[in-house]
Amino acid sequence: MTDDDPRSKAIVQWLTSAGLQDTDRQEMLQGYAERLADAGVPLRRFHLAQRAFHPKYGGTGFTWTRDGGVYHEYFEHSDTPRDEWLRSPFYYMLDQNVPEFRSRLEGPALDRFPVLAEFRKSGGTDYLSMILRFGDFIDAPFDPRRPGEGILSSWTTDARDGFSESDLNLIRQTYPHLGLAMRAASTQQMAKDLLQVYLGRDAGRRVMSGEITRGSSRQIDAVICYFDLKGFTQLAEQIPGTELIEMLNDYFGVAVATIQKFGGNILKFMGDGILTMFDLGSVTEDAHAALSAACELQRQIRQRNRERSADGLPIADFTLALHAGEILYGNIGSENRLDFTVIGPTVNQTARISGLHASVGRSIIVSEYVQKAAHPCPQDLVSLGRYMLRGVAEPIELFTIYDSEVDG
C-alpha cells in the first residue's frame, strides 16, 4: 500500500460518523460510493454482500450503480449452492483464501468468471474485489455452506485505462473503515431481525427500544386469539417426525401470514397452537381485524388442505377462539430469562373458550365482547348460546361466524 491518500480522511470521517449514528446500510453504501466517485474514482458499479442472520435468507446484497443508485436484495437459503456463486470471484477468493482479486475485463478471466464477461458487455474495463472477515471467522477455514461473518465487495469501472494506482490505494485505505461501519449497522439490523422473528414484530420492537426490565408492563384493551390445530395429537402418533414438523410449519406459515396481514401480533407458539394479540389502537379496530383474519384464515386453511390432499399429504383442521378485554402486556420471568407476553383474566378466559370447541361443535368461537366491539361488522355472527366459564361469575354468550359451506 502506498502512503495515505489525503482524500481518504474525509471518507473515513464520514464512515465513522455514519457507524456511530446507526445509519441505514443502504444509505451508508450510497454515501460511500458517491464519495469515492466525488474523490475522482471512475466508479461505475459497487457491490457489497454479507451473511444474513435470518431463518429465510442466507445472505443480503447491495448494488450501487452510477446511474441507478443503490438497490437491495436478499438471497434465500439453499442446500445446493447456485452455479453463479460457485463460478464467481467471491467464491474463488473464499475457497483459495485470497483477500483481494483484480482483473482487467479481458482475456481468460472472462471465461473463468461469467459475471466479469457480463460487466465487460455493459462497458466495464477493470474489476477489483476484496473480502473483509470479522471476529472468529478471520482465520477460520472456508465453509461454502456457512461462509461466516464479514463483507465481500467489488468495484467496477468503465474508464478506458481502468483503475489507477491512486484509485486502488484510496479504496484499500477506506475499505476497513467501511467494514467497521457495516459491522455496526449489521449488528443492529441482525438484533432487530432476530428479535422480531423470535419475539414477534411488536414485542421485538419494544425490547429493542429498551423495554427489558423484569416486571415492566402496560395495561391495554386488546383482542386475544388462540389458534390450534385439530387432531394434531393423533397425527403425531401416525406420521414420522420430519413430516410432522413439515406439516406444522406449513399450517403455521399460513396462520402467521394471515394474522399478520390484518395487524395481529404473534406472541408465542405453544406446541400445535399460537397465541396472538390484536392491538391496533381501539378495541373496535381490534375486533374488526380479528374477525377478518378469522374469515381469511378459514379460506386459506381450506385451500391449503385441498392442495395437501392433492399431493397425498396429511391434513388438519383448526380451531380459533377470540375474546376481548384488559390484559397486561410486558416482561415476565426471572432475572436471566424473560418472556415478553400477555397475562390476565382475559387471556385465561380465551383459553377456556378455546376448550369449548368440541362442546359447541364449531371451529371458530367469538365471545360477546368481541361481537359487541365489532358491531356492526360484515361478518354474520350467529349465537351459540350462553356458557359458564370456570372462574367467571356470570355466563358469557358465544358466537360463531356463519359459514356457507357448513350452514348453507
Tens-place pLDDT, residues 199-217: 666 666 666 556 666 666 7
CA 204, CA 198: separation in Å to the nearest integer? Answer: 8
- Give residue for cell 400445535: 272
pLDDT tens digits, 305-362: 999 999 999 999 999 999 999 998 877 777 777 777 888 899 999 999 999 988 888 9
Q: Which three cell numbers stand for residue 297?
A: 384464515
Q: Which residues contact 355 (CB under 8 A, 6 or more apart)?
A: none
pLDDT at 1: 41
Q: Which three cell numbers stand for residue 52?
A: 444474513
Length of the chain: 408
pLDDT at 191: 64
Q: Phi and psi of 340, rounded to 5°?
A: -90, 105
pLDDT tens digits, 72-93: 888 776 777 788 888 999 999 9
CA 291, CA 285: separation in Å to the nearest integer? Answer: 10
- Mean local confidence (pLDDT), 84-113: 91
Q: For residue 341, which amino acid is it?
A: T
DSSP 105: S
